[in-house]
Amino acid sequence: MTIAVAVRKGSEIVLAADTQNNFGQNRAPIANHRTQKILTVGANHLATSGWGLYANILTDFLARRRAPKLDTERDVFRFFQAFWKVLHEQYSLVNDQCQNEEDRSPFGDLDASFLLVNPGGIFFVSSDTSVTEFQQYYAVGSGAEFALGALHALYEAEADAETLARRACAAAMAFNVYCGGEVDLCRVTA
């Protein structure tokens, strides 16, 4: 599980994520295992939320390609459509069998969500591969509701993006057992 937060203030955009990894109901102490949840791909920083396997698959997928252009919603959407297609063609780990009729959807399902920042902005990629751009902030993962509440309350009062991102992660980590550890940060200039 993850908390990932992206914040833009002025020309600075910060992506922050926790470093805790959970294995079902168990978590490893940070001194024993520290998870890096932010991937750097060219000028892009991408946080993964959901099954940890998706970070492994995405890292493998990106290692086989040139750094993609991800400057617009359309660019991000096309990249994740290509990723979704390759998931089903090359990774036998993806389960396409939906046992429950009410859980079926006509759309792709990544079983993960992503938060991407680059000089073009903040982009949220939902599990159905839809892409949404945010102008000020967004959060994904466990505790996202706490992080978004903190961002909503503090955004106008706080001076910089890093402080906001750290405080939002701290709120999520205080109230949700599935996120914790230390906070990793990446910065870009919009």
Q: Do the domain assignments include residue 99?
A: no
Domain that includes residue 59, residue range? 3-24+33-90+107-189
Q: What is the pLDDT of residues 88-109, one digit of tens each?
A: 788 766 555 555 555 554 455 6
Q: Do the domain assignments include residue 101?
A: no
pLDDT higher than 90, residue 118? yes
Q: Do the domain assignments include residue 65?
A: yes
Domain containing residue 56: CATH number: 3.60.20.10
At residue 168, the pLDDT reads 97
Q: Do the domain assignments include residue 97?
A: no
At residue 98, the pLDDT reads 52
Q: Do the domain assignments include residue 56?
A: yes
pLDDT higher than 80, residue 127? yes
Q: What's the total number of domains in the chain?
A: 1
Q: What is the pLDDT of residues 64-87, one digit of tens each?
A: 888 888 999 999 999 999 988 888
At residue 96, the pLDDT reads 54
Q: Do the domain assignments include residue 167?
A: yes
User: Percentage of the chain with pLDDT > 70?
Assistant: 91
Question: From start to end of the chain, where are the E strands?
Answer: 3-9, 12-18, 22-23, 26-27, 38-41, 44-50, 112-118, 121-125, 131-134, 137-141, 183-189
pTM of model > 0.85: yes
Q: Do the domain assignments include residue 96?
A: no
Q: Do the domain assignments include residue 13?
A: yes
pLDDT higher than 70, residue 150? yes
